[in-house]
Amino acid sequence: MKFINNIFKSRSEKDGIFLPHIQQIIGFKPKNISVYKRAFTHRSLNYKDKLGNDINYERLEFLGDSLLDSIISTYLFKKSPQGNEGYLTKMRSKAVSRNNLNRIGKTFKLLDLLMSEVNPNQFNDNIYGNLLEALIAAIYLDQGFKKCEWFVTEKIIKPFIDLDELENKVISYKSYMIEWCQKKKYRYDIKEYQDLGSDADGQKYFSMGYFLNEELIAKARATSKKKAEEKVCRRAYYVLQDQIID
């Protein structure tokens, strides 16, 4: 078990780049650098405080997620005075989608600051969004809500979130295609198309077909049923794009 005072010793090799990198990202000098270091501490290090509480970014991630939702909701409310509740909810979902947050976190090169026992190559892209949310919480705890709101608005929303582009962006092709078919009163089905079994290394694949009025429109396969459904719906969307746009 490692205690909090050991964090600063084990991170000494990264401290040279940590503070300037953080300052470059957030646009101001931190008051309490330790809260930012917590935001980039992975649970694999098993750090504990003197009361035995875990020291890692996971609780900060939870707080940052709530703060981000609140700030973006307020921004959308002000910027889209004609938008109803459904529109605002969809726009917020698109703005804080995991892919979008991962893209922003990757641009900030947040993984370079992470202290972990895990090889960086073993993380998937979600680590970038998780660290971004933890960073937002760290700013809030260090500087207060106003500064946190400024960071989200100036460093995330304005550079990375185009409302016009977001309005036409599809987050879930499955949800979109289901809604479109229901609106048009079309019969549709998303079901297993054929059993592909497993490949040479034992990886199981799921093959799904998208049927419109009992006609096969598209097929796709993936390593999970959920991924295969989303993939086949995306393909069906592009096959039917001319009808959908009309």
For the chain, which domains are there?
2-167 (1.10.1520.10), 173-245 (3.30.160.20)
State whether residue 96 is helix, strand or coil. Answer: coil
What pLDDT is recorded for position 5? 40
Task: Give the pLDDT of residue 37.
Answer: 95
Q: Residue 47's beta-bridge partner residues?
A: 2
Residue 68: per-residue pLDDT: 97
pLDDT of residue 246: 58
- Show which residues are catalytic: 65, 133
Q: What is the mean pLDDT of each run of 10 residues along the chain (246 residues)?
A: 42 68 95 96 93 95 97 95 88 89 96 93 94 98 98 96 80 84 91 63 82 92 88 90 76
Per-residue confidence (pLDDT) for residue 15, from 0 to 100:
60
Q: Which pLDDT score is estimated for 13?
A: 46
Query: Which pTM was predicted?
Result: 0.71
pLDDT at 4: 41
What does the pLDDT read at residue 189? 92
pLDDT at residue 14 in the model: 56
Give pLDDT, residue 3: 40
The rounded distance, in Å, linking the Cα atoms of 232 and 180 is 15
Alpha helices in 96-172 (DSSP H): 98-107, 126-143, 145-151, 158-160, 163-167
Q: Are 189 and 232 in contact (CB under 8 A)?
A: no
